[in-house]
Amino acid sequence: MSVSVIIFDCDGVMFDSRQANVNFYNHILFHFGLPPLTDKDVEFVHMHTVVESLNHIFRGTTYVAKAQEYRLKLDYIPFIKDMVMEPGLKEVLDVLKPDYGLAVATNRSNTIGKVLELNGLSHYFDIVVSSLDVENPKPHPESIFKILNFFRIEPQECFYVGDSEVDFTVCQASDIPLIAYRNKDLQADYYIDNLLDILKII
């Protein structure tokens, strides 16, 4: 069975977004007079939805609900400039686009559209599934099943490019081969350090 679709995670695969995430969440913490993220908090927010992340970093405070309200009013666009596109991303998308279906499965919510638009990436992807498009975000496989249904393909007809345990779990649950990006600690089918190496695999 040949591969016809490539699914990309966003944070940690398409973009180095750690600094943007740190700045975003620290801004909200600072707004409520709380100390900045710890190293463990940084790891958590890298992999989870904004709702889960705020619930986590505001745990034990009286500001959880207010923090969720505040982030809905917060303009994310100023933080997008802190996201660094991974080397080779546009080049590999240019090569893949004519012959493969392309998708994004991300735990970002209402920010993913602007991230893609402002970086000139929107036109590459046939479908983008955010945490707002499913009842159960990653690591639940719902977002992946949505993509498989969109393309009308079987799990073994695609690759998922991810970098975290959440990505490993979602691939296990959906029976999709995982290409691990810059993370040799993950259990994966393939390992790459440059996105252009996807072309060698397919």
CA–CA distance from 101 to each of 76, 78, 81 (Å)? 28, 31, 28
Residues with pLDDT less than 50, the chain: none
For residue 47, what pLDDT is reported? 82
Range of the domain at 73: 18-80
| SS3 labels along 6-70 | EEECCECCCEECHHHHHHHHHHHHHHCCCCCCCHHHHHHHHHCCHHHHHHHHCCCCCCHHHHHHH
109 CB contacts (<8 Å, ≥6 apart)?
A: 49, 50, 51, 130, 131, 132
For residue 39, what pLDDT is reported? 94
Same domain flag for 95 and 188:
yes
Same domain flag for 73 and 117:
no
Count of structural domains, the chain: 2
**Of the candidates 48, 80, 112, which is a domain's last residue?**
80
Same domain flag for 130 and 180:
yes
Same domain flag for 105 and 147:
yes
| SS3 labels along 80-100 | HCCCEECCCHHHHHHHHCCCC
Same domain flag for 98 and 191:
yes
DSSP label of 139: T
For residue 109, what pLDDT is reported? 87
Task: Give me the CATH number covering residue 10.
Answer: 3.40.50.1000
Same domain flag for 171 and 90:
yes
Same domain flag for 112 and 196:
yes
For residue 171, what pLDDT is reported? 97
Task: Give me the CATH number covering residue 74.
Answer: 1.10.150
Helix (H), strand (E) at residue 115: helix 112-118
Same domain flag for 115 and 70:
no
Same domain flag for 22 and 103:
no
Same domain flag for 89 and 101:
yes
Contact 188, 198 (CB under 8 A): no
Same domain flag for 27 and 76:
yes
Same domain flag for 150 and 179:
yes
For residue 172, what pLDDT is reported? 97
